[in-house]
Structure formats: structure tokens, C-alpha cells
Amino acid sequence: MEKITVLLGERSYPITIAAGLLKDPTAFWPLKAGENAMLVTNKTLDLLYSERLSNLLTATGVKLDQVILPDGERYKTLAVMDEVFTALLQKSHGRDTTLIALGGGVIGDLTGFAAASYQRGVRLIQVPTTLLSQVDSSVGGKTAVNHPLGKNMIGAFYQPSSVVIDTDCLCSLPPRELASGLAEVIKYGVILDGAFFNWLEENLDELLALDRKAIGWCIRRCCELKAQVVAADEHEYSQRSLLNLGHTFGHAIEVHMGYGKWLHGEAVAVGMVMAARTAERLGQFSNADTCRIIELLRRAGLPVQGPKSMEDEDYLLNMLRDKKVLAGNLRLVLPLALGRAEVRSSVTHDIIIAAINDCKKN
């Protein structure tokens, strides 16, 4: 069992990483016997894990209710989140309840926002079941739902009380979902840890095969990096913005194509390549390193070219609605070298469009 602490003073919390944690009641700290909780999951994961987790917690004396939501990015909406509020109110849950988010990024983000909002804030435990949510979205307190005009535009910073990562959950992931998570893993190497990027090149086959030792170390390293960044910049005023590498381009793809048509990691993978091509055109990143990123993404089973149906204007229109736009200026995360990146706000639209078109030749 591995434990990492996100250091935020009185709001610090543990990330516990191990195989088989859904069988370990002690992992669900600070939930105790006699307390109320609401398990939030989706229809797919309900069939896989809900009964196991429900039996585990009720056997310890927790009073557990459950709400089952539809599965998919297109259901990450205010209307679906209202189903959580309705269930909480129908079952008379008060401010002393705990929401347990059992699922991937959609469930984690939506349940986190519900926890931040219900009676002005209740306790939250994140139980991520996808690689993407285990290495990224469950840690750091970003919660949100989507709007038709923009991804994650309605939300709050709200930290969980704990994060419980059972690596055995990855065994039920379809290959496409596993690849989607690897995009966020590769992102950490590009922006924060060149040695980790090298390790990924050497160990990608083991990760794809879900080798227990390799996947456990990979998740731990990503969580360590994320925890360090969040502790230094919880509300994304500076350093935390680097974690958005590829996301401005990627969110444009997700919004334009329709939520769920492209998985988040697939869109971020293309966005990383577009960011690397932009940095190349600015003379701050080498073509050789761009090619290494492209090769690693391809080996992971991820796309490196955007949708053929998207025009230049489609990217710019959606990118200009991005949360990171300030005073009408795009702010892009761009690599400087493998393991280092910066935020730039002075990139012209001509360079961005040229970089997008460069990616059609990948």
C-alpha cells in the first residue's frame, strides 16, 4: 500500500494506492460507523463494484444510500447533478453526510461539485476507477460540469477528504479508456519530469499489459507530481496552469465534436501535439522532442491528428471560450523541453493555426 499526502494545511488529505482497496474498510477514512453516506456511481460501474463496496461499508456500520447516474461525458450536466441533490433530499441527508464518488472523471467531477454545493459543502471521498481519474482528475479538488458552449465551465475548487485508488479497477477498463488515461500520464512527463518521460518510453508495454508493479509506480509518480503542484498553487494562479498542457486545444475538439465522441485523453493527446508544434514554431522546442511525444502517444494507441471535419475557425472559436482566456487573450501551455513548460499569452492566431495544420502531416 502506498500513501501520499496532499499538503493543504488543515485540509490536507491522503491518497491511498493499492490493489484490492475496495475490500479494505480502513481505506475509506474518515468515514466511521454510524455516519451517513451517499454512493454516487454510473450504470456500468454499478454492475461491477457497487454491491461489493456497499456490503463492505454497511458491514462496518455506515448508513449507505446510493444514486446511479447514466454513463458518459454527455451526462456531465447540471440536470444530471440535480439527481444527486434529489436523492440526498429524499433520503434526508444533512450536512454531516459524505458523498462517495465511485467512477471515472465524469462521476468524480460531478459528485465533487455536488459535494461542494449541497448544503454549502459536505464531505467527499473520491474512489477513481479509470486510469485518467486515478492519475489526475480525482486529485486536486477541481470539480465541474459541462455546458454546451464549454467544457467544465460550471464548477468549484473543492478538495476531497481522501482519495482511494484501487488499481484492480483498471482490469475492467476497455483498451480505449486505458489509452485515454495514458495521455494524462504522458503529460506529466512532458511538463514536469523528463526522467519520467524516459521511463514511460521504456515501460509503456508493461503499462498497457497492466503489469501490477509498473502501473502502481506510474500512478504513484503521477499523484506525487500532482500533489506537489496542488500544494503550491491550489487555485491555479500560476504553476498549476501547467497541468493544462494540450487541454485548450483538446477541449475545443470535445466541444465541437460533441461530448463523448472523443474521449478526454484522446483530445488531450492531439492537443499536446498541437502545443508542441506551436512551441516549435516559436523556436522554443525541438522537432526531435515533438517526434518523441508523437511516437509515445502512437504506441499508447492515441490519436496525434485532430478530427478531419474540424476547420481552423472551429478550433479558434472554441479555444477563445476557454477558462484560461484572460482579457480576450489565449493563454497556452507550451513545452520548453521534455520536463519543462511555460504558460504563454502572446501567441498569434496565425502561429496557432499553422501549428494545427502542421499536425495534419504527423
List, by residue number, the catalytic residues: 120, 142, 184, 226, 236, 240, 244, 247, 251, 264
- 166: helix, coil or strand? strand
H/E stretch holding 5 reads: strand 2-6
Helices (H), 118-238: 131-132, 175-191, 194-208, 212-232
